[in-house]
Amino acid sequence: MTGSSLHGGPDPMARAAVVSVPARSVARPWVSHNTRRMMFGYTLLAPAALYVMLLVAAPFLFSLYLAVSDASVGDPVAHFVGLENFRAAVEMDLFWLALRNSVVFFVVAAVLKSLLGTSLAFLLLQNFKGKKLIRGLVVIPFTLPIAISVLSWKWMYDSQFSVINWVLSRLGLIGQFGSEGWPVWLGDPKLALAACILVNVWRTFPFSAIVLLAGFTSVPVEVLDAAKVDGCTFFQRFRHVVAPMIFPILMIGFLFDTVFTLSDLSVVYLLTQGGPANATKILPVLAYQIGIQAGNLGRGAAIALFLVPLLLPALILVLRNIKRREW
Amino acid sequence: MARVLTEARTVPPMSQRRKDIRRHLLIYAGLLPFLIIAVFPIYWMLITAFKQDPDLYRMDHIPFWFNMKPTLRNFDILFNQTNYGAWLLNTFTISAWVSAITLLTAVPAGYALARLKLPGAENTGIAIFLTYLVPPIILFLPLSRIVAELGLQDSWWSLVVVYPTFTIPFCTWLLMGFFKTVPMEIEEAARVDGCGQAGAFLRVILPISLPGVLTSVIFAFTLSMQDFLYGLAFVSPGDQKPVPVGVPTELIRGDVYYWGSLMGAALLVGLPVAVLYNFFLDRFIQGITGGIGK
């Protein structure tokens, strides 16, 4: 319609629309105004929506297809093989080991980071001098690109020149290098998974703390004052006012962490590549090694998809919480 | 904020000061372990980067400071004997492209979802945001096929195509929040003054939302830097990698570690990113917890 008015067609109404702005809204019925706004809206939305559909939604569906095919890196022609890849995965001992490691990794890390994160959050909640600076320093592990900070840990876990061992040795907690008690963090199957978990905890405890802080700051002071006036004790206030109000935020933070921790490959891949003796083999590493390194796309996709049932509850809960909070 | 959980007690002014000092000391004592845990690995990288090689391997000296003269040799090796210069260039070129793609798609989308009262805008926004939560480990195998179809395998262009899959969802969500905070009256005033729909967006809303747009650029950059898997899976030639992928995969050869150069390479890019991200961390947290537009 705009086009025809600009070209100055014979329609007097259209002419009027060009000349005077107020007349336009009179001349056009509501429906067309709405339609125009929606057309404009969908045009603006289209590029982002298309990108996400083509490169996230479509690949996700494609991965479902890969998982039921015998696609491989070398052979471009894939055949449908049904649930064969899933069956093969479930029959691999390595798969079960990886699943177990993933779950252990996730649970232990979650417990540790929530303990550390909570204590840090309570400390940062206080008013003290230099808070901004200290907060900025404490969150560095989370803001440093992961592949970069893992390198630092790899060096600190060095089999001989580990600075951690140097300290422990000087404190008399372990023996000299070469003795029985010298921990080889990344080479000992009993220690390697713990070493990897520690890096994940180190990286994400500031995140837990900051999410918790965000939760606390979202509680209006008036509400707390009201509770105080009503005679609530500190613990009553915490239990009945603060906790329910910050719960949704905590939930979302926790679930984000679930997704990122369970699906992260970089820490383990860079530290141990899943070794020694598969002690740190987790699902993402297994999926990568089978899918890319061994070139078995179908089998790799199937293993990666086993993460979905682990992640799905997290996604659903995020969805519900985001919706309920509105803005 | 301290008022939320601690109570402001009324005490006589004399002991107030001493109490305050004691309180500060207690808090600092509590924070010290956290500070050490958080910062030590970074300090360790920093000092390793400037140490001479033999200084790294002496067990009898205290390792926390220089026992031999500090050196810049590690950086010399980095720039003259490795592809580090190329990785730096790749990193910045990739980030620039990703930021451009992200802005061109996320800014209009965020505006449309926040402002134009489209039917189902709320749910569409949430759906786009949720794609941010689909982990790369599920997408990288199908994407490797797509990258190959496009003929982009083994080139950093593949990362330009792939990184927006997580920057667009996040930034669209972030910008929705920003656009919601711009008062509706401003836009209406612009319309009354004769701006069309597009004019109001381009000439009035966009300039006001510049901080939000800049924040999106920062996130497009920092989130791209957090990737490791895509870079590892799609780009294997040594000169095509971005820094976070090139450093751990190319500088470690077999059992020989050039720790000094490794740490220097990592920090040179890691620290600026960490500092930048630091300033915008609260935005990130607000973004993912859904409280942006408050």
For the stretch B19-49, pLDDT in tens is: 889 999 999 999 999 999 999 999 999 999 9
Taking CA atoms, what residue in A is nearest to B38? Answer: A138
Q: Structurally, how many domains does chain A consist of? A: 2
| Domain extent at residue A31 | 2-67
Inside any domain, residue B294: no
**Least CB-CB distance to A301: which of B101, B141, B266?**
B141
Q: How many CB pairs under 8 A join A and B?
A: 320
Same domain, B66 and B166: no
Decide if A30 is inside a domain: yes
Co-location of B160 and B263 in the same domain? yes
Establish if B201 belongs to a structural domain. Answer: yes
The answer, for A265 touching chain B at a CB cutoff of 8 Å, is yes
Model pTM score: 0.85
Q: Cβ contacts (< 8 Å) between A285 and chain B: which residues?
A: none
**Contact criterion met (CB < 8 Å) for B118 and A325:** no
Specify the pLDDT at position B286. Answer: 78
pLDDT of residue A30: 57
d(CA B143, CA B164): 13
Å from A14 to nearest chain B CA? Answer: 16
**Which residues span the domain enclosing B48?**
2-74
Which residue, among B56, B58, B140, B141, would best test binding to A if mutated, counting the most A CBs under 10 Å from its CB?
B141
pLDDT at A20: 45
- Whether the predicted pLDDT of A311 surpasses 60: yes
Answer yes or no: do A52 and B197 touch at CB < 8 A: no
The pLDDT value recorded for residue B177 is: 84
Q: Which of residues 57-76 of A touch B (CB under 8 A)?
A: 57-60, 62-63, 66, 71
Is residue A21 less than 8 Å (CB to CB) from chain B? yes
Residue A13 has pLDDT above 50, yes or no: no
Which of B47, B74, B101 is a domain's end point?
B74
Residue among A216, A292, A307 minimizing CB distance to B1: A216
- Give a three-class secondary structure readout of chain B: CHHHCCCCCCCCHHHHHHHHHHHHHHHHHHHHHHHHHHHHHHHHHHHHHCCCHHHHCCCCCCCCCCCCCCCCHHHHHHHHHCCHHHHHHHHHHHHHHHHHHHHHHHHHHHHHHHHCCCCCHHHHHHHHHHHHHCCHHHHHHHHHHHHHHCCCCCCCHHHHHHCHHHHHHHHHHHHHHHHHHCCHHHHHHHHHCCCCHHHHHHHHHHHHCHHHHHHHHHHHHHHHHCCCHHHHHHCCCCCCCCHHHHHHHHCEECCEECHHHHHHHHHHHHHHHHHHHHHCHHHHHHHHHCCCCC
Q: Are B144 and A304 in contact (CB under 8 A)?
A: no
| pLDDT at A3 (0 to 100) | 40
Last residue of a domain, one of B74, B104, B121: B74
pLDDT score of A94 more than 50: yes
Between CA B83 and CA B240 the distance in angstroms is 9
Shared-domain flag, residues B99 and B64: no
Using the predicted structure, report yes or no on whether residue A19 has a pLDDT greater than 60.
Answer: no
Minimal CA separation from B11 to chain A, in Å = 17
Average pLDDT, chain A: 83
* Amino acid B42: pLDDT: 93
Determine the residue of chain A that is closest to B109 in CA distance. Answer: A45
Residue B105 to residue A266, Cβ atoms within 8 A: no
Is A185 within a domain?
A: yes
**What mean pLDDT, rounded, does chain B reach?**
86
Residues B57 and B184 in one domain: no
Query: Which residues of chain B neighbour A264 with C-beta distances below 8 Å?
Result: 137
pLDDT score at A89? 87
pLDDT at B12: 58
* Residue A122 and residue A224 in one domain: yes
Percentage of chain A with pLDDT > 70? Answer: 87
Judging contacts by C-beta atoms under 8 Å, the chain A residues touching residue B109 are 44-45, 47-49
Low-confidence residues in chain B, pLDDT < 50? 1-3, 291-294
Nearest residue of chain A to residue B127 (CA atoms): A319
Under an 8 A CB cutoff, do B135 and A177 touch?
no
- End residue of a domain, out of A19, A34, A67: A67
Alpha carbon distance B138, B143 (integer Å): 9
pLDDT of B85 reads 92
Looking at residue B179, which CATH number applies to its domain? 1.10.3720.10
Cα–Cα distances (Å) from A259 to A63, A102, A112, A274, B107, in that order, read: 18, 12, 17, 20, 26
pLDDT at residue A327, as a whole number: 41
Residues B121 and B68 both lie in one domain: no
pLDDT for B15 equals: 80
Q: Where do we find the tokens 């005077």?
A: A20
Domain termination residue (choose one: A38, A67, A96): A67
Averaged pLDDT, A87-96: 89
CB atoms near residue A12 (< 10 Å): 9
- Residue A322's pLDDT is 63
* Interface pTM, i.e. ipTM: 0.86
Looking at the structure, tell me whether residues B63 and B89 fall in a common domain.
Answer: no
pLDDT of residue A4: 41
CB proximity A236 to B under 8 Å: no
Nearest-Cα distance to chain B for A10, in Å, is: 23
| Cα distances (angstroms) measured from residue A255 to each of A322, A327, B282 | 12, 19, 18
Q: Say how far apart CA B143 and CA B163 lie, in whole Å.
A: 11
Confidence band for A324, pLDDT divided at 50, 70 and 90: low
Same structural domain for residues B195 and B105?
yes
Task: Return d(Cα A115, Cα A205) in angstroms, integer.
Answer: 8
Domain boundary among B46, B74, B102: B74
- Assess whether B8 and B128 both reside in one domain: no
Going by pLDDT thresholds of 50, 70 and 90, the confidence category of residue A325 is low
User: Inter-chain contact A56–B169, Cβ cutoff 8 Å?
Assistant: yes
How large is the average pLDDT for residues A223-240?
Answer: 82
Q: Is the pLDDT of residue A215 over 90?
A: no
Last residue within a domain, chosen from A19, A39, A67: A67
pLDDT above 70 (res A295): yes
Query: From CA A63, how far away is CA A56, in angstroms rounded?
Result: 10
Chain A closest CA to B186's CA: distance in Å?
Answer: 17
How many domains does one find in chain B?
A: 2
Contact B139/B228 with Cβ under 8 angstroms? no
In Å, how far from its chain's centre is CA A124?
Answer: 24
